[in-house]
Structure 1
């Protein structure tokens, strides 16, 4: 099948492409309620029932309401059920859609031509009926030998695809049968034309009479062939419409000059003259013949000309009479009224001249009035007066020679006012910022308003940068003066003999003096920033006011004048203020509105930008105050002074910084981290020193520990009891430092009903844990650092104690002869006490960490597991000691009298010794577990020895001796360890 042409793609079937008989007729469905007049199709939307004034508006309505875009194609929905019958459902391009709307829905050729001349011409050529004369050399789709019906009805195909049209133009495009006659067309008879025939009957009769008369007149014979041949002898150029002898080419063709230069020129000229005369005769004869043929028409025209001449004469007579009557009416009615109107116009002109003179007089007083306004700092009024005067000079008084220099003078005066306002603002800011800090009065709002509104009126926004520079200079001066005062008042510094810099002199202050100086800096800066905030509030209100915000605030002081009525600021023409002067209230185009009448001085975009810059200025000043304070902090900490502070001293410094930072945040409304960051750095250094001191102290204590039970002071007992409840108090730590001699020390640490025998190093370790936790309470910003270092302390103690006890490192360090069972039990009990506090410390830090920091707490679980594993290793060590004893003793044992043997006596002796070593250290339940495991070890070695000796429970003498030995062992163990009974001893015998 051939590709569809653009006409087919837009849904139009070309003329002459109708299907053959038996097929569906070429009938295109129309839009519902389509008007009969296609030229007015665009005036009313048939679906929305909206009337439109122009085709372009209707086309825009169709695009917005009755068009959808699917991918890159446009689908027209203007029709029944949202389907346009003349456009494919898959859509067309944007250009084709516009042409479709103009052609099928608007039907306005002019609009189509404006839209796309090429498409309009193509549409016009497509819709025309083919012409044999004009189209015989031009190929169109009518010249095609194969058309759409021929393709669809191709007999060579077995069947036709019926969904060809339905899938493209909708389900409604199906075969329909033609009903003849059509029920939609009425039956036309002769009765429908009777009215028309009656109306035109008379005209038809007259026409027939005239036609018969014309036929009765003898016709003039047409020109003969001879006359036609004679006329054809005349050259065609004589019949041209542009024939003119002035044209050199025409002249040369009529009178060839070359013929006159040769010999016989006279003969040639005569021949040419006769030839032209012959042409003239032929033309005259033909004209006479033509005139004779049309003589009737000439006579008719002449008769009509005479009749027209008579009518013109009567018309001129009527016009003459009319003019005479108009002149009479003009004399009687019009002239006097026109004279009255001319007097009125003259009066109006005189009033205009008078007002112009008054305006000139007012303009003449502009410069004195400006000087008067500037003397009272009315910058906005002066600038408005200059602007209004320049406008009047341009519009109302242009061309007046007396004011030809006033415009340039006003421009220079405006520049001078700009400079005055800038200098006045700098002077005002300097005076306001350098006032004593004890003065709580705010700035002079009236003066500040006049200056800032004038600067805003001129769009001079650099005053914010000037104010920022003045504030930074003032902050520098405040900090320096505070340091100078502190150094000069210090008793420990010889200012006259000290030739160092101010920073060197400041470093000579002790902590108390330096902290007081630092707090004074904070206090002075807070007062200064509070003063800046008051000025900032005034400037913020003025900026909002200049942008037209809060306009009602200014109307409270406005005069009772009509809206839009100009006022002259109560100043007369002589420049003096006098409320009684009648000239002071004369409205004129020169006057300007007061500031209270809320002139909008800045645009919304400028207002937004100024608000942003103003907020940034306040934030920047707070940050700058933090930076200057941070420099003092860094200067004092150069020699490590801040790292050597105690916890309480560093806490005092931290609280002072936090108070000042909170005050600055209340002023600026934004969080600042510069000073906090500097303090955090110092806090990190403090934490490093704090940790290193305690780490070193712990290492020294462990290296010198003899692993003997220490007494527990009462204040330590109070601290550990409070820590067991999750409470850490500075008072408890203070009492620990001061000591308490009234209360006696205890042998054990009592926690939750349990007693713990500990060494002195463990007490110091738990005190350090309390100090770490208290440091977190005082300095929350170092919580993570303290946590990691506390974990390191726990890990160091566990690993170091393992090296000293289980690894026997204490033998070399402190000169112990051996690691006794008591040493092992004491180490185990110390580890158990520390393990009791690890979950408590974990809960303490969990309450102070952020959710994202909770992962660090997993280290406590690992540490607790290490401590428990260490305790188990010590228990295994005790059992291993006894296991070696059992193996050594029983390997030499023989079953013979006397009973009990020396071997069993030695075993029981050693059991009593180990019980005596741990009975005062470990709790009973742990002792019981140890002896149960020892008894299991004993039975294992005894069973092996009985197998070796081939002793069985056969009831013989040897079996009796073994039984007696076991009775002695059982009584010894039960009396020593307090066990009620031992496990069944019969499992030592091998079953037969």
Structure 2
């Protein structure tokens, strides 16, 4: 048996000494083999607990010091009157006491001055107690005789309770420290109280300074009060002076107003109407105080002194009569102009149409034109030309026939406006369409042939040329209808006022739409009423405009039907401009005639139904092609992509201005050689992208959540914008567009599933395998669409034609994306579980107790496992949000917990060396994965499983506490 065997330790000392002679194969135990002792924790007392005590003792100490100082003063006086021998004796005795210096601190053992002095430490306690025993030992044998187990003599140890010398030493040490403490306090007290006296002096000086400052502040406040009162008096006098000046200037201004009114009356009396109306305007501006100083300096007849400041005098009661007089002057001037307005003329229909460019017409449709309409500017010239004609017609009683002829001419002119912009209906001649349309019925076959050629030429037009043709036709028809309405109103107005003198002729000139309003016209004489009744029936505005609009829409319906196939294949921007142009034209016709154009609307709606499915198929094909070539590499989210995303997010509450620009026809250019309407399709996008690429965002952001996207995702985002733009531009087709958009989202989801989970990208894009990066990027793309779908849903929900079932479909599509993303996460977990299964199979082949295996540090499969987990965590952290990474890694560790717990429990080990070898694998698992959330717990559980395993070679006397050598490292 060995020296440290339990049997040997239980033998008497002499026998164990003798046994040590024969058993020399084992080393004797050293101090390192002694297990560490757990030290008792001594609670630390907070210094604030002694705060009350110290404050109370401080007051007593201050009283003691004051008493001590007084006693010292008295003592000094006694010393001055003492005898010289007594002084000498005191000096001698003081000298002797000075020679008795206190015991130095070096006599105290250094252990008491150690910073880490803790009496509960067994070694410290042993030094302090001078190796004394706490309780006297009653053991007999060699220990009582002063010999150790190794046979060496050992000094006898005294009992601590009866060691009086040790107690005297401890008392001596405390007295020595106390003496030195009292000595140090006595030396420091003198300087402390000197400083306290200085502080008292400073306090007294500060109190004196405060009192002086307070007195100075009172003096300053009194001085300020006197200055403010005087200042107020000065300000009051200045204000009074200003009021007097204003009163004088207002008096001069009032005199100038009265003189100006008299001057204007003289001009009216003399017949200078133009000068009089202008001067009246100056007088009114002067009375209201708004006359421009620059103009006032030139009007010496009105304002002799331009330097005076003008005031608004309109509230003065004294000027009431003056203002009434000015109104009478205006009325007299209006009556003078009334005769002149009867002679003003306007242009005819063709001149007006040719004078207004299509751009101005489109701007008027979009309510962006701020210029005065040409019809208002030229209506007076037309009045001058037709007034004598109407008088002659009235005298000849030919007004009814002339009116009927005028109606037929208007219809022919509308047809001519359409056909003059259409392509030629002949192959080799320049014969006009208008003249060809008047051919005899015997040439009907030729007319059919020309119609065929016209249809062929219409289909051959490019989108740009066709758009120019439609814009020119629609703008020409719109201006013609507008001009026609002005002409009819003017005819009725002339006939109604032909036998009377109107009171106010300015109102019809300023507002042409109110010319035909009976409420603003003066009553006509009997002859005027008869002439108006004769003209009203043939020139009825509503019936004439309705007939003209019906004819125009009938002709345009034929033209649009010819290009139905070409229209359905237009690009989105071209189609939206085409749709907007037709919509605005229909609205213009409806506003002019009061009747909706059902035929034209029906053709356009039919073309929309054809366009949406075709556009959807093209977008789907483009998306499939893009996704098939996707390399699943992260790309920077460029500014143009961020702009598209911002538009879609904004569309949840309101349509972006950029989308509304697709339906803005005011920028259409119909002049020769102008570019196609492309400026509103992507407003300022190229410039913006060029300026933001250097510092633009690299990730997509939705509500502070960032996404790393691939190229196909941004392509799909552009496709979604196409549907939302179409939805905002054609809200009446909301259900059809929404259905196509849902199908587009489902296509992206299903195609992503085929390419990633189905490994289709290995064939389409030539990827060698589908790795963790590809899965993470696919998950990010799905997360992006999951976050985006609510905004798309909000954009769709705002359309009036959307039903509730359509809204529920968006929720289903969102759940499809979420399920797909969960499948990707499950795939990642399955991959890691499969790798763990492979490692566990390798682990099952290991013979843990073999000598070669025991010498190995860790298993290769364990290193591979930890490396793969760290790689997974690094890749996921790079591409996925931290929350998703924690969830996935957490599920991986849960799977590992189940797999590896069983694997470590099933590991067959028979020796402690094998157990140590298995423990190194578990410790590697904890060390490598400890930095990951949940990894340390996994490693700790594996370590506990290994430590809990029973080793066959362990002694059966395991009920005794194991020694230090038997404890696992």
Say whether the fold is shared (TM-score over 0.5).
no
The TM-score, its normalising length taken from structure 1, stands at 0.43
Larger relative contact order (Cα-Cα within 8 Å, sequence gap ≥ 6): 2
TM superposition score normalised by structure 2: 0.44
More helix by share: 2
